[in-house]
Amino acid sequence: MARKDRKQIFNLQSRSLISLTNPKSPITEQFRTIRTNIQFSSVDEELQTIIVTSSGPGEGKSTTTANLAVVFAQQGKRVLLIDADLRKPTVHYTFRTENHVGLSNVLTRQLKLEEAVSITTQEKLFVLSSGPIPPNPSELLGSKNMQLILEQAKEEYDVIVLDTPPVLAVTDAQILANLADGVVLVVSSGKTERDSAKKAKELLESAKAKILGVVLNNKKAEETHYYYYYGGK
């Protein structure tokens, strides 16, 4: 648990967190479907650490990550959402909290994990923001300390969801993919180019990532403005 003097309860941004503000919406139901498919994607072992990434920016990966974390917590799981995008972090915007301390402070041993974690108004959902942007994100994420942080988190949380930078932009997602139990790739209908998605998949596989499937974002449907779909690789 986070120390009481560092806990912050903050309002959730309604625009991004539809799974919290409108739990009966068709979009929220799609997030629950994604959650279910993730859980059934591995029969022999439990998926505890999940990375969400995309091929490029602006494809909805951070919104998808946040809503997935919410629906896992709504299932009764103890969830830690980690903003592992140490270049353009967004989790603190989504959850409307300060970003003075976070993952970068824990990676550089300035703080312990429990000292940097914040609670949210969603029961059982905890957030580790990025913290101050460091000059060497890839080196920090690839460090032994990152592995130790994830191992510690596994002891305290049922599910750890990591929001990472786009695959084609930097190597961060590939570095972390090798440490996680599975990766979800987000693509945007009408925006993500087929070659880009294919290249992102190849890069993740070369990093020995277990790709769980793909979320198709911004697909128009008659009953909703957006449609989220999860499928096999």
Q: What is the pLDDT of residues 19-42, one digit of tens each?
A: 888 888 888 999 999 999 998 887
Domain 4-189+200-231: assigned CATH number: 3.40.50.300
Mean pLDDT of 194-209: 91
The pLDDT assigned to 230 comes to 45
The pLDDT assigned to 5 comes to 39
57-66, 92-101, 176-185, 217-226: the lowest-pLDDT one: 217-226
Residues 118 and 222: their CA atoms lie apart, in Å, by 38
What region does 96 belong to: left with phi over 0, alpha with psi -120 to 50, or beta? left
Domain ranges, ordered by start, for the chain: 4-189+200-231
The one-character DSSP state at 76 is T
* Choice between 76 and 222, residue whose per-residue pLDDT is larger: 76
Residues 147 and 2: their CA atoms lie apart, in Å, by 20
**Contact criterion met (CB below 8 Å) for 2 and 115:** yes
pTM here is: 0.86
79-83, 179-183, 215-219, 222-226: the lowest-pLDDT one: 222-226
The pLDDT assigned to 10 comes to 39
How far is the CA of 184 from the CAs of 30, 91, 204, in angstroms? 15, 17, 10
The pLDDT assigned to 219 comes to 67
The pLDDT assigned to 220 comes to 63
94: nearest Cα among 83, 105, 80: 83
